[in-house]
Structure 1
């Protein structure tokens, strides 16, 4: 059995739904897990109707929402158990930014590699209000799940006759958009540093 056949079998199995839910939950505090890649890959195969794109998006959003709350709780526990720890000192440095622009940071952090983990943990560690956190993380989860699902689906539609190419294009689009976001962030920081120095 070749690799593409194995991937196709995995993506069309009902187990993919559980994998999407679990990975989207766990990568809030284990950021090396490939939740976005799995959502995109499943969405590429959703062009055929199996798996279901709406179900992929709903489960990815639900997992992201739950995972963010677990990360928030981890931040709270770290504050209680290690109040002078290195992570808490780092959270304290970003606390003013978080409390001033928390909504934007929570939503944007969802799309930055490692950003989700840092922001949700810092939110809990700094005592960011849970009701506000819940509101903004719901927006972030739905936006991220919809974006990932639609990127994969568009890759699948564009290359319906060649699902492996659709998979590569879907993942490539997601990586390109992430890289573009990082570039914009880098340029903005450089400009701000130059303006501050001048």
Structure 2
């Protein structure tokens, strides 16, 4: 069932990936992904990379579309946190786990700084909490924009190039190219999360 859905989707990709407006799709989905974690931003950029590898798109334009969309989206998330600080805090107070995640994110921002924004970009859901909490805690806007610009550039380049490599390798099979790129991206994210969890665990044990 899932295989059929993926196959149908990637087959449709061949029909519209060469159009100029496909870049707008990448931009829009990357933007929404920054605010609504359920939106497949990274997946769409990977698909763009696969299309570029097959010769249907420009890799550079795919990266620019993904990075720009993510940059705008992250800044919107910051603005939501900044302009609706009271509302966000009341929302967080409704459930202890929400409050814990928001307070934890604010603590980590002060502790680890901009590098955390880069790391969080590769964690679905985590990046939204972090960008919103940056606004809630009134982190300097220029500082935030500087690090987010670096984060989204790395993120979009990573996802697009990953798709491009497999798209180039399997030009005649978009489905296989996408599945391999997606699984690779998922595996790398899982490894990063595991390393981070083990490191935090060691620090907690040492403390």
What TM-score comes out, normalization by structure 2 length? 0.86
Q: Residues 99-110 of structure 1 correspond to what in structure 2 (within 5 A)?
A: 99-110=110-121
- Unpaired segments of 5 or more residues in structure 2? 1-6
Q: Is the 8 A contact 2:34 2:70 kept in 1?
A: yes
Q: Please give the root-mean-square deviation of Cα atoms over the aligned residues, in Å.
A: 1.9
2:80 maps to 74
From 146, 152, 156, give the equivalent of 2:157. 146
Residue 126, structure 1, aligned to residue 137, structure 2: yes
Check whether the contact 1:40–1:171 (CA below 8 A) recurs between aligned residues: yes
Residue in 2 aligned with 1:137?
Answer: 148
Give the corresponding residue for 1:23.
29
Q: Which runs of 5 or more structure 1 residues have no equivalent in the other structure?
A: none
Shift of 1:64: 0.7
1:189 CA displacement = 2.3
- After superposition, the Cα gap between the structure-2 partners of 1:28 and 1:21, relative to the gap in structure 1 and judged at 3 Å, is same
How far apart, in 1, do the equivalents of 2:16 and 2:188 lie?
A: 26
Q: CA deviation at 1:78?
A: 2.5
CA 92–189 in structure 1, closer or farther in 2 if over 3 Å, else same: closer
Change (3 A) 1:82 1:38: closer
What TM-score do you get using the length of structure 1 for normalisation? 0.90
The one-character-per-residue Cα deviations of 1:55-102 (angstroms, maximum 9, x if unpaired) are: 110011100111010000011122144555526954344433312322
SS in 1 for 2:124: coil
Aligned to 1:190: 201
Matches within 5 A, 1:154-165: 154-165=165-176
Instruction: Find the counterpart in structure 2 of residue 12 from structure 1.
Output: 18
Deviates more, 1:106-115 or 1:87-96: 87-96
How many correspondences in the alignment?
Answer: 195
Q: Deviations over 1:125-178 (max 9, x none)?
A: 001110100000000011101111100001112222322211111111111111
Cα distance in 1 for residues equivalent to 2:88 and 2:161 = 41
